[in-house]
Amino acid sequence: MERLYYKLPYVKEFDGTVKECREGKKGRYEVILDKTAFFPEGGGQPGDTGLLDQARVLDTKEKDGQVIHFTDKFLEPGTTVHGVLDWEKRFENMQGHSGEHILTGLIHKTYGYDNVGFHMGSEEITIDFNGVVEPEMLAALEVEANKIVSANIPFLVSCPSKEELEQMEYRSKKELTGEVRIITIPGVDVCACCGTHVERSGEVGIIKVLGMINYKGGVRISMLCGMPAFRKLNGYEKQIGELSVLLSAKQEKIVETVAKLKGENQEKDMKLNKLYQTMFETKAEGYPVSSQPLVVFEKDLEPVQIRQLCTMLYEKNKGNVVVVCSQKGDTFQYAAGSSSVDMKVFSKTLNGLLNGRGGGSSLMAQGTFQAEAEAIESAVKANA
Ligand SMILES: [Zn+2]
């Protein structure tokens, strides 16, 4: 079987003869051709999609040395079919894969780390390394990678003999059987790879790092290249534009403006809490000191305020158990506090009776009840 994608990765259309077509899983057919330009999933690069005559190629995978096209229609063995790749998608995969080699090559050169995981998703490409990369160094290597893109360096493909391979220095050196393809970016990287690549680095367009997290003792870097990177950055730009309008701030002042708003908000919260404190103190004066349970109903309080009022009431001994409930829709949010009864046990009992959720410490519990006010009141009185 002829692999046209290796001869020339830019083959978008071709004619091939159907050698086999068998019924597979989920109503799909598995088609084998005498030659194909469809790249089968491998080495982190997704399989190609497209058309074989009227049949949609949903995925392409390699099995037992054969390229299997998963189609939605039966294709008669012996007939010639016209194949058309979803070229935009495949070219974006080439941009991403080649960009990955550039960045990985630079990281390998700098740190000696290996790429231990590579995945090309629809939203981002992730690369895992078996060591820690400093963010400042990654930023510098990202710039370097884009300079290599601009320099329009060729990607060279070779298939050295076993003896030649033994003498060679390259990434992903494993005991591989059969032909090993070596992708060389002169001065940047030499790597064994089964994927499809652009002919020159300029076609990658842009290499954009999107983030880095610690992962399995090393790091996972997410990135995008070419058109997918452009779309992502376009989306960010749109969001920044919308934020700028919402905040009535210039784009370059957005962070400053949000930080300022956050500060102002915190200040308002503090003022509001002080007001609530004063209001709750006045409210608490209205309740006599008692060794009986006390249930208080409020409306639209935040959980922090419910807790604030509850704490104040039980600390002032306005009840052996104090439950403050605040209605929000058809739910009551509650805080239950006591210095004599275990609130962990108490809240568990009440949750069971009142379709409730939540818990807490022996002094205070918080959660929600889905019950009528009367039911809450009698359940508290019966169990406190
Ligand atoms: Zn590769």
Q: What are phi and psi of 164, to 5 degrees?
A: -65, -40
- Is the pLDDT score of 173 beyond 80? no
Alpha carbon of 290 to ligand 1 centroid (Å): 75
Alpha carbon of 223 to ligand 1 centroid (Å): 15
pLDDT band at residue 24, thresholds of 50, 70 and 90? very high
SS3 content of the chain, % helix, strand, coil (to 5): 40, 30, 30
Alpha carbon of 101 to ligand 1 centroid (Å): 6
Rounded to two decimals, the pTM is 0.81
pLDDT band at residue 179, thresholds of 50, 70 and 90? confident
Nearest to 352 by CA among 383, 320, 311: 383
Task: Return the structure tokens found at 239.
Answer: 């969001």
- Please report where in the chains the tokens 């080495």 appear, as a residue: 43
SS3 state of residue 295: strand
Domains of the chain: 2-85 (2.40.30.130), 91-234 (3.30.980.10), 280-383 (3.10.310.40)
- The predicted-structure confidence for 239-286, as pLDDT tens digits, reads as follows 999 999 999 999 999 999 999 999 999 999 999 989 999 999 999 999
- The predicted-structure confidence for 94-152, as pLDDT tens digits, reads as follows 999 999 999 999 999 999 999 999 999 989 999 999 999 999 999 999 999 999 999 99
For 316, residues 6+ apart whose C-beta sits below 8 A from its C-beta are 284, 287, 289
- Please report where in the chains the tokens 């330009």 appear, as a residue: 37
Alpha carbon of 305 to ligand 1 centroid (Å): 57
